[in-house]
Amino acid sequence: MSRYVVRRLLIAVPVIFGISLVLFTILALAPGDPFEELATNPNVPPEVRMNLRAKFGLDDPLPVRYTRWLTSMLRGDWGFSFVSRVNVDTLIVQRLPTSLFVLGSAQLLGLLIALPIGTYSALRPYSVFDQVTTTFAFIGFSLPTFFTGLVFILVFSLWLDWLPFIYRADISAAGWRWWWEHARQAAMPVAVLGLFQGATLTRFVRSAVLDVVRLDYVNTARAKGLSERATVVKHVVRNALIPVVTLVALQIPGIFTGAVITEQIFRIPGIGSLLISSILANDTPVIMAITFVFSCLVVIFNLVADLLYGWLDPRIAYR
Amino acid sequence: MSVAAAPAAPLLSAGSARLSLWREATRRFRRHRLAMIGFALLLVMVAAVLLGPFVYRVPINEIDFKAKLKGPSRAHPLGTDDLGQDLLARMLYGGRISLAVGVVAMLISITIGTGVGALAGQLGGVTDHTLMRLTDLFLSLPQLPLLLLIVYLFRDALKKTLGPEAGVFVLIVAVIGGLRWMPVARLVRAQFLSLREKEFVEAARGLGAAPLRQVMRHILPNAVGPVIVAGSLDVAVAIIAESSLSFLGLGFPPDIPTWGRILFDAKDNLDFAPHWALFPGTAIFLTVLSINYIGDGLRDALDPRKVLGGK
């Protein structure tokens, strides 16, 4: 197993490298100049601008600029936000936990919905329960998160007045009150993301369980007198999870799409809403860093999926 | 053995076989009730956005402050926005762009995907390896953040060269298509790997067909089913991607009311004009739902192996 882990880690390195190359290429190809503002400012003489360009190495050849950019990114020197006058990494470290909390809870909710429902409907294919859940799953993943978010606000905040629709990082209450307030404000964003994930995952789980449940070893398990519960949990679901993990891993980059949108709708102070506000404020260092962080998160979660995969299916780890 | 008859016979049988294959696929698609409903609904939507503006001749940008933020009424069937502009007219006009973005982005993504997949599957070896690593790399890019980054960096330049409307359209379509080709590339490559070894391709090779002819005439037509299925679902994904961009205020400018853009303008007025957000949101939802059902039906119709394996 440890050799498998090391091998997976080693594969992640070139991926991060490739992603950084893609990001840098996009930045280098982009028209416009970070010193454009200085060029239009009459108080800055052209010589000063030229000196600044030389100082920051903007006229160096591309490979040189790429190496310098990558080494400073890896060293954790992510530059300086133009707008908030703070180091980019402190800005991101402030915001990241909130994003991860919302994303993680939503993913958990999605799994809690999808695993039982998907399994149950695959064990009784074409029953009424199966048809109802399949239809709901179809509707669920056709509903874009920005629309469900707005509908939730409309129903639960404006009409019923149950939940707050603005997420606050600074809740003044303490103790139980603090937890309660947090749960209330996280309920809608987590539900929006989690229901969407749940709908997608239910379909995956259902088709994976359908594939497994007809296999001979399941019949064997039943024939040797195992309870239905043990058969399903230990024999069917565990094996059905293997393809599900693959599909979940492929979904990860898409999950961030929903995360950025829900953060924007509910004004969650996470890195997704930071990305949008930085784009609106032309804050290039922050934008680049956040895109890089998102890419790293994708790679990390893929790694987690790989490890889960090795745990679920030991054959993979010993290959 | 007549030399002259030999090429004629397979051509004939291939022709009739293909005909009945498509007929068979159509029959299977028709049996999928929800796919047919989705198809009908989508046809109505397309007809509405294409022909609607000719029938419903209310201008999209007529400002009328006396009628602002009104709910549905006889004068404005879907109500008005904060400037008193007619929502039905705006949605019919914006729907054209939303749907066009979906279709064009899909065409781009399946073209790139088919090209990459075909190259990898046909040439094999180092080309295959490189292209597949590239596909894996693209699959691990975070879609929306990257989309936002590219739109942010290139928007102004393209606006300058192509004008605000065409510039944003080209940019959005190219980027959405350019970030969605990977599943198609994998599908096509897998198809090529299995089809390349099939007897009929070997026969074509034995008859001396050049590689290009083998690919265009024998392999690609047989690999097209899964591509159509993936393509239909890509339309839905592209529509959602464009709406997301516009919803974040970073897609089309306010004078081009795509459905996502209308939602963006509506979201701060939810408490006193919910209809403003509900109508375009429902339009996006229904379009995406019907396309997804059509994709499901197409999968049943064109990918018989999947049906057998799945049920």
Give B209's DSSP letter: -
pLDDT at residue B311 tops 70: no
Residues facing residue B80 across a β-bridge: B86
**Model confidence at B141, in pLDDT bands (50, 70, 90)?**
confident
Task: Tell me how far apart the alpha carbons of residues B139 and B182 are, in angstroms, rounded to a whole number.
Answer: 7
DSSP notation for B100-168: HHHHHHHHHHHHHHHHHHHHHHHH-HHHHHHHHHHHHHHHTS-HHHHHHHHHHHHHHHHHHHH-HHHHH
Closest CB from A260, A288, A302 relative to B140: A302
CB contacts, 8 Å: A13 with chain B: none
B249 and A280: CB-CB below 8 Å?
Answer: yes
Cβ contact A261–B144 (<8 Å): yes
Q: How many CB pairs under 8 A join A and B?
A: 136
On whether any CB of chain A is under 8 Å from the CB of B187, the answer is no
Please answer yes or no on whether A142 and B271 come within 8 Å at the CB atom.
Answer: no
Residues of chain B with Cβ-Cβ distance to A288 below 8 Å are: 149
The confidence score (pLDDT) of residue B109 equals 93
Helix and strand counts by DSSP (H, E) for chain B: 13, 0
Q: Determine contact: B145 vs chain A, CB below 8 A.
A: yes
Assign A80 to helix, strand or coil.
strand
CA B151 – CA B171 distance, rounded (Å): 7
pLDDT tens for residues B30-39?
888 888 888 9
> Which residues, other chains included, contact A63 with Cβ-Cβ below 8 Å and sequence gap of 6+?
none
pLDDT of A239 above 90: no
> Whole-angstrom Cα distance, residue A132 to residue A129?
5
Per CB-CB distance under 8 Å, the chain A contacts of B136 are 15
Cβ atoms A142, B285 nearer than 8 A: yes
Q: What burial class does residue B199 get, using C-beta atoms within 10 Å of its C-beta: 0-12 exposed, 13-18 middle, 19+ buried?
A: exposed
The answer to whether residue B105 scores a pLDDT higher than 90 is yes
Alpha carbon A127 to chain centroid, angstroms: 34
B22 neighbors B301 (Cβ within 8 angstroms): no
Instruction: Give me the long-range contacts of A17-22 (CB less than 8 A, separation at least 24).
Output: A18/B133, A18/B137, A19/A292, A19/A295, A19/A296, A19/A299, A19/B137, A19/B140, A19/B141, A20/A70, A20/A73, A20/A292, A20/A295, A21/A66, A22/B137, A22/B141
Chain B neighbours among A 223-262 (CB < 8 Å)? 250, 253-254, 256-257, 260-261
| Of A139, A105, A133, the residue nearest A119 (C-alpha) | A133
Q: Give the per-residue pLDDT at B112.
A: 94
**Closest Cα in chain A to B245:** A261
The pLDDT of residue A126 is above 60: yes
Mutation target vs A (from B42, B135, B136, B144; most A CBs, 10 A cutoff): B144
pLDDT in tens, A146-166: 888 888 888 887 778 777 777
Instruction: Of B248, B242, B240, give the one whose Cα is nearest residue B284.
Output: B240
**Whether B267 and A256 lie within 8 Å, measured CB to CB:** no
The residue ranking higher by pLDDT, A265 or A184, is A265
- Which DSSP string corresponds to B51-98? HHHHHS---TT---GGGTT--S-SSSTT-B-TT--BHHHHHHHHHHHH
Which pairs count as long-range contacts for B43-46, CB under 8 Å and 24+ apart, including other chains? B45/B95, B45/B99, B45/B283, B45/B286, B45/B287, B45/B290, B46/B99
At A17, give phi and psi (nearest 5°): -60, -45
Count Cβ atoms below 10 Å from residue A125 Cβ, excluding itself.
15
B267–A22 CB contact, under 8 Å:
no
pLDDT score for B309 = 37
Q: What does the mean pLDDT of chain A come to?
A: 81
- Find chain B residues with C-beta within 8 A of A207's C-beta: 310
Whether A298 and B143 lie within 8 Å, measured CB to CB: no
Hey, which residues 29-88 in chain A have their CB within 8 Å of chain B? Answer: 30-32
Task: Identify which has the larger pLDDT, B156 or B230.
Answer: B230
Contacts of A256 in chain B (CB under 8 A): 142-145
- pLDDT winner (highest mean) among A52-66, B157-171, B241-255: B241-255
B186 CB-contact burial (10 Å; exposed 0-12 / middle 13-18 / buried 19+): buried
B129 to chain A, any CB pair closer than 8 A? The answer is: no
Q: What pLDDT does B104 receive?
A: 94
Q: How far is CA A47 from the centre of its chain?
A: 45
CB contact under 8 A, A151 and B281: yes
**What confidence category does residue B8 fall into, taking pLDDT thresholds of 50, 70 and 90?**
very low
d(CA A213, CA B235): 33
Residue in chain A nearest B146 by alpha carbon:
A291
Cβ within 8 Å of B, A 142-181: 142-144, 146-147, 150-151, 153-154, 158
C-alpha angle B148/B249/A78, rounded to 5°?
Answer: 40
> Of A31, A150, A280, which has the smallest distance from its Cβ to B277's Cβ?
A150
d(CA B91, CA B267): 16
Comparing CA positions, the residue from B43, B36, B241, B256 lying closest to residue B151 is B241
Question: Is A313 strand, coil or helix?
Answer: coil
- Per-residue tokens: A123: 């064990």
Contact state of A253 with B140 under an 8 Å Cβ cutoff: yes
On whether any CB of chain B is under 8 Å from the CB of A212, the answer is no
| Per-residue confidence (pLDDT) for residue B113, from 0 to 100 | 92
Contact A291 B281 (CB under 8 A): no
